[in-house]
Amino acid sequence: MRFANKSVIVTGASIGMGRETAKRFAAEGAAVLVNYAKAEKDARQTADDIVKAGGRAALCQGDVSKESDAKKIVATAVGEFGKLDILINNAGVTSFIPFQDLDAAGPDVWERLYATNVVGSFLCARAAAAEMRKTGGGVIVNNASIAGQRANGSSIPYCCSKAALIHLTHCLASTLGPDIRVNSVSPGVIDDTRWNAGRSNFDAAKAHASGVEQSLLKRTGKAGDIAAAILFLASDEASFCTGIDLLVDGGRSYKI
pLDDT cut 70: percent of the chain above it = 92
Q: Indicate if 36 belongs to the active site.
A: no
Predicted local distance difference test score (pLDDT) of residue 216? 79
CATH code for the domain in which residue 165 is found: 3.40.50.720
Residue 256, domain member (yes or no) = no
**Which one is catalytic: 36, 114, 158, 254?**
158
Residue 10 has pLDDT above 60, yes or no: yes
Strands of the sheet containing 86-89, edge to edge, are 56-61, 31-36, 7-10, 86-89, 138-143, 180-187, 245-248
- Structurally, how many domains does the chain consist of? 1
pTM score, whole prediction: 0.94
Angstrom distance (rounded) from CA 97 to CA 155: 5
Residue 27 has pLDDT above 70, yes or no: yes
Residue 19 has pLDDT above 80, yes or no: yes
Q: What is the pLDDT of residues 182-224, one digit of tens each?
A: 999 999 988 766 655 555 666 667 766 766 767 778 888 899 9
